[in-house]
Amino acid sequence: MRLSLGEIARVLEGSLVGDPEHEVSRVATVEEAKTGEICVVWDPESAKAIASSSATAFVTAMDLQVELGHQIKVADPQAALIDLLEMLHPFPKAPEGIEEGAQVAADVKCADGVYISSGAKVEPGVVLGSRAQIHAGAFIGSKVSVGEDSVIHPNVSIYSGTLIGKRVVIHSGAVIGSDGFGYRQAADGRQRKIPQVGTVEIEDDVEIGAGTTIDRATLGKTVIQRGTKIDNLVQIAHNSEIGADCCIVAQAGVAGSSRVGDSTMIGAQAGISDHVTVGDGVLVGAQSGVADDLPSGDWIGSPAMAAARAPRVFAILNRLPEIYEELRSLRRRCEVLEREVGELRSAGERGR
């Protein structure tokens, strides 16, 4: 696809410096761009590379003072990048129909425009909304519901009874609705499995990364609310509820029966303990360990502490060996002083 700089400037609501008839065909990085390509610049490091770039045009912040042949100045370059990618790199038209080699139960309900790839398996009682896509190797268990315009990528496993909303994207290797990790140790020491008979509900506009696992509830449901984005290799345990518009980054884990509020950010490798409540708009830093409720604010470290306090704590942690040696020295000096004071008191009493 080719678009003129004038068209792009109008969509981005930007100020164009240069020829509006000039055309570009794709978005590229400043370092790798060629003639006919456009770059977006928002950080100082990228700005340094502009002089040696072969790009035809640049999208920059309003206040960037650089001599460029073709430049579109915008209020928010990062937002403009998303718009540009959507314009110049549109998703291909979704396929339709059921391919030969797909295993589809006779009573599966398919709305208009559904696509099921060869190698996918769809079990009885499944309902697929308009334009839903089920790609190769995906398994859709019995009585699953997949909403319109949702995409189930290759080799996803969706266990029976799972409810998936509209415009949900689930990437390869994700497992939705597997048993929650529930066991009780019997008197003889053996682990007795607690049957997991609940389900999982994924609301509209959720995206779930590759290799992520979301467990079904013991009773009731595990819920991922509208608009939440979950990265690769994340674990959401049984009966947890993740609020709307959250971001959960790779290798994070949320233990059973926890509640995460709306618009909360959970960093990579962070761990949320079971039966914990995290409030709305909370930021949990990477590798943080959350064992208690977090009502609000930014938190980091393990155990998690207020982010504003963390730098002082970490600075002290780095000096603990020296601080310990200093404490031992002070303790020895105190012991000497206490003996000397005691001896002086005894001498004074004998002299009376």
What is the DSSP track for 177-189? EEPP--EEE-TTS
Rounded to an integer, the average pLDDT of 14-32 is 94
Give the separation between CA 188 and CA 182, rounded to whole angstroms: 18
3-state secondary structure of 114: coil
pLDDT band per the 50, 70, 90 thresholds, residue 164: very high
pLDDT band per the 50, 70, 90 thresholds, residue 151: very high
CA distances from 195 to 44, 106, 237 (A): 55, 29, 15
Q: Cα angle at 53 between 50 and 59, to 5 degrees?
A: 55
Q: How far apart are the first and last CA of the chain?
A: 106
The pLDDT score that the predictor gives to residue 348 is 74
The pLDDT score that the predictor gives to residue 346 is 82
Q: Where exactly are the structural domains of the chain?
A: 3-88, 97-306, 319-350
Q: Which residue has the tokens 């059921």?
A: 98
Q: Is the per-residue pLDDT at 352 higher than 70?
A: no
pLDDT band per the 50, 70, 90 thresholds, residue 54: very high
Q: Is the per-residue pLDDT at 274 higher than 90?
A: yes
The 10 Å CB-count burial string (b at 16+, else e) for 295-325 is eeebbbbeebbebeebeeeeeeeeeeeeeee
Identity of residue 61: A
pLDDT in tens, 302-325: 999 999 888 888 888 888 899 999
Contacts of 125 (CB under 8 A, 6+ apart): 105, 107, 108, 142, 143, 144
To which H or E segment does residue 312 belong? helix 310-318
Is 3-88's fold the same as 97-306's?
no
Rounded to an integer, the average pLDDT of 277-286 is 97
Catalytic residues: 238
pLDDT band per the 50, 70, 90 thresholds, residue 109: very high
Number of Cα atoms under 13 Å in the Cβ half of residue 142: 2
Rounded to an integer, the average pLDDT of 112-130 is 98
pLDDT in tens, 136-145: 999 999 999 9
What is the DSSP track for 277-303? EE-TT-EE-TT-EE-S-B-SSEEETTT
The pLDDT score that the predictor gives to residue 315 is 86
The CATH-assigned architecture of domain 97-306 is 3 Solenoid (2.160)
To which H or E segment does residue 333 belong? helix 320-350
Name the residue with higher pLDDT: 118 or 347.
Answer: 118
3-state secondary structure of 46: helix
Rounded to an integer, the average pLDDT of 232-244 is 98
- Asked whether the beta carbons of 186 and 164 are under 8 A apart, the reply is no
CA distances from 242 to 59, 230, 249, 264, 292 (A): 36, 10, 13, 9, 17
pLDDT in tens, 291-302: 999 999 999 999
> Which option is the CATH number for 3-88: 3.40.50.720, 3.40.1390.10, 3.40.50.300, 3.30.56.10?
3.40.1390.10
Q: Which of 147, 148, 152 is nearest to 136 (CA)?
A: 152
Identity of residue 346: S
The pLDDT score that the predictor gives to residue 340 is 86
- Asked whether the beta carbons of 18 and 5 are under 8 A apart, the reply is yes
Instruction: Kindly tell me the sign of the dihedral angle through the C-alpha atoms of 279, 166, 205, 236.
Output: positive
Answer whether 0.85 is exceeded by the pTM. Answer: yes
Q: Is the per-residue pLDDT at 231 higher than 90?
A: yes
Give the separation between CA 281 and CA 80, rounded to whole angstroms: 25
The pLDDT score that the predictor gives to residue 314 is 85
